[in-house]
Structure 1
Amino acid sequence: MTGLAVKNLSFSYETSGPVFEDLSLDIPGGSIAAVSGPNGSGKTTLSRIISGVLSAKEGSSVSFEGREGFRPAAVFQDLNAQLLYENTREELEFFLKYSDGSPSGTPESLAEIYGFTDLLGKKSQHLSNGEKQRYIISVSSAFSGDRILVMDEPTAFLDAEAVAGLEKLLLRIKKEGYSVLIFGHVFKGLESAIDDFYRIEKGKLQKGGAPLPRAGLRFGKRKRGDLFLKTADLGFISGGTEILKGVNLNLYSGRIKALCGGNGCGKTTLAKFLAGIKEGHSGEIFLKDEKAGTGALRRSSFIILANPFNQLLHPTVRDNIKDLGMEPEILKKRLEELKLWEKLEIPVSRLSYGEMQKLLILCAVSKKTPLIIVDEPLLSLDPESERSVFEILDAYAAGGGSVLLISHREELVRGFCDEIYDLENGNEEDLGN
């Protein structure tokens, strides 16, 4: 069955060399392909070309069922940019009324079919990143103008239950004749739905086997310092829904703690309270046994949110690092380790999601705040970058800093962290690494 066909694709950005040269790819209807590759290899660029956001060079061809100008459904990593209405029900009603080729039914029936009844009617601002991603994937599948779906890191924010739901959805739309192209680093839980695996590197696309499963990195045990921050019965209610209840969390100098839990349990909300960028909680937050307001918390922490697009404030990589205060030799070494040294003049808007994360990690450790909070640090990193980032954070903790890593991928942070706090049940485990 004819599906997506990419022929002789070439593309270059104005300020750099070619990203692709004569790249070709065929995905028949009723099949799913996955594309992996290092950070900055062009995965997101390719997804945007196929989705019609970017235009390839003359002579390149991107077609679906033998015709160009098709209408793919696309799911990108900037989730907030893909939510058009404040309320999920209102958004569905709009799509049902105005989208060409809309499915028949009601918001309720679509939510039932695509598995997001629990999100129907919720305000977008109240959705967690995982819930946003699950909703956007479902709606994109339902309202695809043509039977083609392109997704960039679709499991980045999903917990195990949501990944299982995505796998079920993919198997269903594959039977309906969809061509699906998934870009990412991790495909765990989706293997049974994927037909072909590709790897893109240095502008070339090669077909191969599935990426090897990642083993969690293991680091030595760290010495626990003084108690730096603690919460006492922290709670939060939003829109009549209890998001946090009775959270008692301790963070120590020289230690790295993982904050885990399923989608929607309040991990990011708690992180924002700890960083002093959100107000309205009940209970107390203490810094070294003194009650702390938002100002003191902001001065004591650096938070890297799961969506890094709005945290890099200057145009280029060089502009963002010029005031870090690091010794030039050390700065160059870190940039080389993170594969950013050769991208100093590149606009940050052209960095991959993983490259943005790495740049923010470098900015965070240079500020030398007592606490660094990283929301989903692994979601867009290739294995080599993952190790480099962990080594930088390990050195920061060894120097007396405290790190809080927020992740739904507990299996990958277990070997790196000293403790895990499960936000859903309040249990804390000393890992003794």
Structure 2
Amino acid sequence: MTSSTAHPESTTHNPGRGDGEAVGIAILGHGTVGSEVLRLMEEHSDSLAHRIGGRMELRGVAVSDLEKPRLGVSRELLTDDAMTLINRDDVDIVVEVIGGIDYPRRVVLAALKAGKSVVTANKALVAAHADELAAAADAANVDLYFEAAVAAAIPVVGMLRRSLAGDQIERISGIVNGTTNFILDAMESTGAAYGDALAEATRLGYAEADPTADVEGHDAASKAAILASLGFHTRVNFNDVHCEGISKITADDISAASSAGYVIKLLAICERITDAEGNEAVSARVHPTLVPKEHPLASVNESYNAIFVEAEAAGRLMFYGNGAGGAPTASAVLGDMVGAARNKVHGGRAPGENTYANLPVADFGAVHTRYHIDMDVVDRTGVLAELAAKFAVRGISLKTVRQEESGEHSRLIVVTHSALESDLSATVDELTNSPDVKAVNSVIRLF
């Protein structure tokens, strides 16, 4: 568990400059998102000025290679010296769209310490160093915005920071990675194998040349850490998130799920859990999940994202839309820029981080889950009763058991009721080592 502390907002008064004053912008990075941010800034400059009360004026764009052609930005605005750019007196807001962790951390911290508000789309940075960044923003009495770090254009960060600030969040579940959703959707709709669906995602530009961060769940885990931190007012870091990817999902898994009334989605699940003594903790995990076909998340197809929130007073809410891509991400970045610029013109600060609850992060083994287990077993009388007894020893009850003939063996598909993850995992280990079980083909948790 990672300890966390609350960061109360600074009480220093920010009076603002007044209507008509310009706000200086420095952009770090000119890739897919950075170039789209610049395009939207220029295209909608007049409208944005009315919304802000003053014009946003570009002071410079920091890039790593000055020789590379940069469409949409004047040569004199380019620099390869980000530190000098962010320390200029005429820069008020620094927009970080570089990606990565180490270098962005240095420049973002430098910007905050120099009294500049920061807008970042960098999920990995926020998930790894949110505590440090929030402390620096509070110390300098400036804004730190990161709406685009989770699900791009879907306004889930603002929703948790503002719209549901008066409610108690119980659970946040979501499809927060478009690449894996595209792959799983293609496997279900066409019957394709995982490798073929990944190749198609790569061809269409949904998957990177190295898709590891997406398909192994790391990207989704960063977003889960951010969502859990915001939703439960507790510092949750990337390393606190249990993470499993989709690379082991097969066409047979997809078919079996469909026959049972489910679809397989890579879900980020963040929830408040309470033990038998009434002690609360936070759980955050990412793994392939069987979602009932009638649930709203099951219908989210292609590369779309969706966040499903369960709150005490508001009830069940779902936010759906484009969760990746240059234009959707730039939309979220620009929205944050408008918010930060308004505060420069009119005064005040955006809602900051507050980890006052400081709940412990639960060990994954203490979480209650349900398993769908597909295995090949010896075809003999009494084997089903003997295997069922292995579940009963740990108090795990079975919801459904389906047996099918499969050559010289039998295929056994078991769905459990809710039980401790540690007990379910230990039971699967025992099944794997049982002479009656020829193979455990797959183990997938249920939503």
Higher radius of gyration, 1 or 2? 2
TM-score, normalised on structure 1?
0.26
Between Structure 1 and Structure 2, the one with more helix by share is 2
Structure-2-length-normalised TM-score: 0.26
